[in-house]
Structure 1
Amino acid sequence: MNNDLKGKGNFLGLVPLIAFLIIYMSTGIFTKSFDNMPLMVAILLASGIGLALKKPGEKKPTTFDERVNMYCKGGGEQTLILMVIIFILAGAFYGVANAMHAVESVTNFGLTILPSNMILPGLFIIGCILSFAMGTSMGTVAALTPIAVDIAHKTGFGLPLVCGIVVGGAMFGDNLSFISDTTIAATRTQDIPMKAKFKANILMVLPAVVINLILLSMQHAPNLNLAATHNYNIVNVIPYILVIVLSLIGMNVMFVMTLGVISGVLIGVIHGDFTLVGSFTVIHTGMTWMEDMSIIAILVGGMVALMNYLGGIDWLLEKLTRKTKTARGGELSIAALVSLMDIATTNNTISIIATGPIARDISDQFGIARERVASILDLFSSGFNGLLPYAGQLLVAGGLAKVSPMSIMPYVWYCILMLVFGTFFILIGWPKFQPRGKGPQVGEGKSLEVGGM
């Protein structure tokens, strides 16, 4: 650990974060529903507490107006606003894709080509494909759970098992999709291209995917005969293919999202799903789905700025890395921090946004490649989010299947394997990537090297 970081910071700077966790968690526990305390309200209340605090020992104490200016600058930080714009574009894309039946076509195409004797691995693969294409775990769970319930009734597989498969597949895409808000948050907070994070992340989760498929293929049921016709139009899949291909070749994500929306609108108009004028309403509807997340991101940015001013970020960084002398220890600290935040907030995106700046500091301090940091943030937050019985994914799956979310939790094998292999790859220090140093790194994807450092 660098000596210039020792002794810096103040625990007082963590008061806004602690206040947020107490407000959010206590309301959810006492009312038995975390929906009773919206994240936006809890963060706003915690921000108010942060604005009321003054940094101890200042020669010239700041005024309330000065702290408000700090808050606004933090919420309007360039990278954060860019992330908000990408959130909105991703919402527009999903709105158009849903309205022109691209989501339905992706699902039905997978079910059509699926061999009946591989129904469970196939269900997981469909969940992976759909969540990767949609960029949302909640949307995937909502779309696939009714199908999974039908499969369970026709095959004799248990409802908790098929629901666990759906949630696992959903978290695959939430972790890796180019239009997932967690991917956007992880890459923007670390200032790296999406394809760089994808290359690191896919290597870390691939063993979990393979082992999960093997375990699912070993499950047996009395009846595996699923004779059903699933209609789809391959043309409707084009916007998803376009988004995936353009993202992989490294095109700017804003161009990718824009082209995805335009292609979806053109196909939707040609197929008569909506008119050209009607597409504007469809786009706006999709954007509104991301409004809460965008506003929350801005509020978190302001709150983090106050925490930084009060010394909370430096204090937390010093405590996390006090006994850490290696990159491995730094990575374990990042994994622990984002995991605890996700367990407390049940929101992997907010966990990444809140811990991203701290993780970036740890990355620069110990020479950890930003690709690995972004992957760790996304992997551990997504893994825990898929296992929390009070998080949205299990609540939706349990509600649609009419089973307890607790009964589903042991069957989300993929998320369990994600956490196991995430920890394993931190401990062995693989895959290795070349650290790029401090400062913005967008567009430097060519420096990424797999292998030795």
Structure 2
Amino acid sequence: VSAASGFSLPLCVGSVMGGAMFGDNLSFISDTTIAACQGQGCQMKDKFRENFKIALPAAIVTLVLILALSLGSNISGTVHNDYNLIELVPYLIVLVGGILGINVFVVLLLGILSGSIIVVAEGAVAATDLLGNMGTGAAGMFETTMVAVLVSAICALIRENGGFVALLAGIKRVFKGRKGGQLGMGLLVGAMDIATANNTVAIVMANPIAHEMAETYDISRRKTASILDTFSCVFQGVIPYGAQMLVAISACAELGFNVSAFQIMPFLFYPFFLLLSSLVFIFLVPDNRGYEPDHAGFEEEVLEVAEEA
């Protein structure tokens, strides 16, 4: 698109990355959504409602800014690619299934099955190659899975030795009140994302501490999950060594274009506007929902934390 239209390559790459992050924010089946909701014990649809209010204004402002920047460009060509609308079916199945609240694994399996049938029927991929691609995809998740397991083990050790209590006490000294607690929660997951360069792992690491912060600062579960998701996205989006940035640069290199992370970063409008929108909803938009202690196993968790303290 950049070569055909004359638009700046960093602008095009930044726009694609921003769109991907927006989709990740509002997806019912993204790994960040699952990690945040499972860790905080809230429904995905509730977290979606919280994220939608924050992400939509950021996306609209981003679109307006991109449109304003692109209007001044001289379009020198067009892009022609073959497509078939039936290939949208797997995406629609996943989207509708997620909105309806169907189990995430069922939704993903339906999407994979329908997509496999379509591409094999079209002759785009052989059945044997399809199985190989699935194996490659599963292997690609192995490292993330192992990191998540190790992080969970480390968090258990920290909790057992009073680390969470000490960390929470330090946070309480710095951040006061519910709004301060929400900001502290966002900065906590952001710091972990900077350290790990993986927003899903950062959420998994921050979940236990954020859970206790939510109780201490009287923050609702859906709000906590939303903060973890949005702030991890903000930091993941702007660090030059994040997976999204590296994949984008690698894709450009494969097509014969050279672009650096520092050239792209000024055009990552969505993460910056998402941060601004998040701060507005923390400090300026009232949230009357408090912490909900009525989920299964909550009493046992409280007793366990009290005994450790």
The CA deviation string for residues 119-159 of structure 1, in whole angstroms up to 9 with x for no partner, is xxxxxxxxxxxxxxxxxxxxxxxxxxxxxxxx323333322
Query: Quick one: structure 1 residues 296 and 204, their matched pair in 2 at CA, closer, same or farther if it must change by over 3 Å?
Result: same
1:253 to 79, 101, 104: 104
How far is 1:334 from its partner?
0.4
Distance 1:432 1:239 in 2: 38
- Over aligned residues, Cα RMSD in angstroms? 2.2
Residue 184 of structure 1 corresponds to: 34
How far is 1:174 from its partner?
2.7
Q: Is the 8 A contact 1:175 1:379 kept in 2?
A: yes
2:23 to 173, 176, 190: 173
SS in 2 for 1:322: helix
Residue 197 of structure 1 corresponds to: 47
Gaps in structure 1 of 5+ consecutive residues: 1-150, 442-453
Distance 1:169 1:430 in 2: 28
With the length of structure 2 as denominator, give the TM-score of the two structures: 0.86
Residue 298 of structure 1 corresponds to: 149
Residue 115 of structure 2 corresponds to: 264
Distance 2:275 2:28 in 1: 21
Distance 1:154 1:254 in 2: 40
Query: Quick one: structure 1 residues 409 and 315, their matched pair in 2 at CA, closer, same or farther if it must change by over 3 Å?
Result: same
Which runs of structure 2 are paired with 1:58-77 in the superposition (5 Å)? none
With the length of structure 1 as denominator, give the TM-score of the two structures: 0.60
Q: Is the 8 A contact 2:194 2:235 kept in 1?
A: yes
SS in 2 for 1:224: coil
SS in 2 for 1:403: coil
Query: Quick one: structure 1 residues 153 and 200, their matched pair in 2 at CA, closer, same or farther if it must change by over 3 Å?
Result: same
Residue 416 of structure 1 corresponds to: 272
Q: Is the 8 A contact 1:338 1:380 kept in 2?
A: yes
Q: Is the 8 A contact 2:218 2:290 kept in 1?
A: no
Which residue identity lines up with residue 380 of structure 1 in the other structure? F
Which residue identity lines up with residue 264 of structure 2 in the other structure? I
SS in 1 for 2:81: coil
Distance 2:121 2:289 in 1: 45
Query: Quick one: structure 1 residues 388 and 242, their matched pair in 2 at CA, closer, same or farther if it must change by over 3 Å?
Result: same
The CA deviation string for residues 90-114 of structure 1, in whole angstroms up to 9 with x for no partner, is xxxxxxxxxxxxxxxxxxxxxxxxx
The CA deviation string for residues 173-198 of structure 1, in whole angstroms up to 9 with x for no partner, is 23222232211211111122222211
Residue 316 of structure 1 corresponds to: 167
Which residue identity lines up with residue 223 of structure 1 in the other structure? N
Query: Quick one: structure 1 residues 301 and 236, their matched pair in 2 at CA, closer, same or farther if it must change by over 3 Å?
Result: same
Query: Quick one: structure 1 residues 167 and 275, their matched pair in 2 at CA, closer, same or farther if it must change by over 3 Å?
Result: closer
Distance 1:161 1:277 in 2: 38
Residue 377 (str. 1) matches residue 228 (str. 2):
yes
Which residue identity lines up with residue 64 of structure 2 in the other structure? I
Residue 426 of structure 1 corresponds to: 282
Query: Quick one: structure 1 residues 355 and 164, their matched pair in 2 at CA, closer, same or farther if it must change by over 3 Å?
Result: same
Distance 2:9 2:202 in 1: 30
Which runs of structure 2 are paired with 1:94-243 in the superposition (5 Å)? 151-219=1-69, 220-224=71-75, 226-243=77-94
Q: Is the 8 A contact 2:25 2:55 kept in 1?
A: no
The CA deviation string for residues 70-108 of structure 1, in whole angstroms up to 9 with x for no partner, is xxxxxxxxxxxxxxxxxxxxxxxxxxxxxxxxxxxxxxx
The CA deviation string for residues 225-278 of structure 1, in whole angstroms up to 9 with x for no partner, is 543322211112111111111111111212212222222233234333456666
How far is 1:280 from its partner?
4.0
Which runs of structure 2 are paired with 1:23-102 in the superposition (5 Å)? none
2:261 to 400, 405, 409: 405
The CA deviation string for residues 176-224 of structure 1, in whole angstroms up to 9 with x for no partner, is 2223221121111112222221111011111111111111111234422
Larger Rg, first or second structure (1 or 2): 1
Q: Is the 8 A contact 2:4 2:78 kept in 1?
A: no
Distance 2:111 2:292 in 1: 31
Distance 2:103 2:182 in 1: 28
How far is 1:405 from its partner?
1.0
Number of equivalent positions: 291
SS in 1 for 2:219: coil
Distance 1:334 1:256 in 2: 31
Residue 72 of structure 1 corresponds to: none
Q: Is the 8 A contact 2:37 2:44 kept in 1?
A: yes
Which residue identity lines up with residue 84 of structure 2 in the other structure? N
Q: Is the 8 A contact 1:176 1:202 kept in 2?
A: yes
